């Protein structure tokens, strides 16, 4: 399984209160969620009036596709025009799972045999 995570730092120009900034950040996060198949949330800068950090995560089976999806999200955030993108970073992680010598069919057969046992 490939896990991709992106962090984008934003500067919200003209924000004079936390309420104004949160409205802009909420709008950006909702647009990301609606347009892309990713998870997104404000993960930093909650106590500041003009700085926000948004975390974005997606998973897939191919690193190139996961990286491309996150690149598109970062480009979208930069182009949306609600805040200035000041920094971004993308990390791709490969997580191994299960025993590579066993298949899903083997596990299903084992589960069936346990149900038949008295």
Q: What is the pTM of this model?
A: 0.79
When pLDDT is averaged across residues 81-101 and rounded to a whole number, the result is: 88
Q: Give the model confidence (pLDDT) of 31-58 as tens digits.
A: 999 999 999 999 999 999 999 999 999 9
When pLDDT is averaged across residues 60-77 and rounded to a whole number, the result is: 97
Provide the domain count of the chain: 1
Query: Could you tell me the strand order of the sheet in which 39-44 lies?
Result: 39-44, 51-60, 2-11, 84-94
Largest CA distance in the chain: 70
Predicted pLDDT at 118: 46
Average pLDDT over the chain, rounded to an integer = 88
Q: Give the model confidence (pLDDT) of 92-118 as tens digits.
A: 999 987 755 545 544 444 454 444 444
CATH number at residue 19: 3.30.70.1120
**Domain of 97, in residue numbers:** 2-116
């Amino acid at each position: 399984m490939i896990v991709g995570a992106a962090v984008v730092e934003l500067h919200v120009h003209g924000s004079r209160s936390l309420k104004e900034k949160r409205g802009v950040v909420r709008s950006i996060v909702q647009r990301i969620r609606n347009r892309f198949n990713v998870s997104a949330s404000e993960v930093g800068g909650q106590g500041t009036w003009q700085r926000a950090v948004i975390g974005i995560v997606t998973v897939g089976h191919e690193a190139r596709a996961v990286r491309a999806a996150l690149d598109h999200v970062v480009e979208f955030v930069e182009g949306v025009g609600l805040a200035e993108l000041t920094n971004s970073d993308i990390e791709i992680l490969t997580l191994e799972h299960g025993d590579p010598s066993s298949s899903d069919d083997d596990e299903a057969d084992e589960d069936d045999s346990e149900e038949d046992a008295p």
